[in-house]
Each structure stands twice: as structure tokens, then as C-alpha cells.
Amino acid sequence: MALDSSSTLAEVQAEYDDTVSYDSPPDVSLARRHLAAIRILRRRVPREGGLGAMNATYEGLAACEEAVVKFLGEQEYNAGRGVAWNYGSFGDA
């Protein structure tokens, strides 16, 4: 589901729940969707207190966002190293 500013809180929370397993197995697309849900939730969560039954705090969501950004950075780094060369077969003939 693509989230936007008109998404309801229930839709954003559902997207958060549906994409929370982005790292097992690693799934960049899921991680990006999870990041979008986190960012929308952070904009809607009061800095003091939490967000209802979800019990999410601004600081907790900030930590989740940091973890997803780190995961995405690691995945992009690993993707850049996608070609592994084996020089073992280039010996003298």
C-alpha cells in the first residue's frame, strides 16, 4: 500500500506492522515502505506521551527510523559490491 498524507492512522499503523520484518529476509522494498510509515507516524506522534494503543513514542520511532536507514545504507553498499571476481583461473598457461 502506498502511503500519503491522506492515509488514515489505521492505514499507517497497518503498513508499519506489515513491513516490520523488512530485515528477515532482507528486503529493500519492504524497508522503504517501513521507513515511509515510520516517518508519517513520527509526524503524527506528539513529542510528549505516545500514540494510543500502538504505544509508540517519538523517540522510539526515531530509533526505528535510524535502524531502517542504517539497513538501507548497508544494502546499498553490499549491492555496489555485487560483482565478485575470481582471479584463480587467470594463471600462466
Q: What is the pLDDT of residue 57?
A: 85
pLDDT in 10s for each residue of the chain, 93 residues = 689 989 999 999 999 999 999 999 999 999 999 999 999 999 988 777 666 666 788 888 999 999 999 999 988 877 766 544 445 554 554
Give DSSP secondary structure letters for 47-92.
SSS-BGGGTB-HHHHHHHHHHHHHHHHHHHHHHHT-----GGG---
Please name which of 17, 21, 31 lies closest in space to residue 75, comparing C-alpha atoms.
31
The domain limits of the chain are 9-81
User: What tens digit of pLDDT does each residue of 8-27 get?
Assistant: 999 999 999 999 999 999 99
- What is the chain's mean pLDDT, rounded? 83
Over pLDDT 70: what percentage of the chain? 75
Q: What is the pTM of this model?
A: 0.77
* Backbone angles phi and psi of 23, in degrees to 5: -100, 0
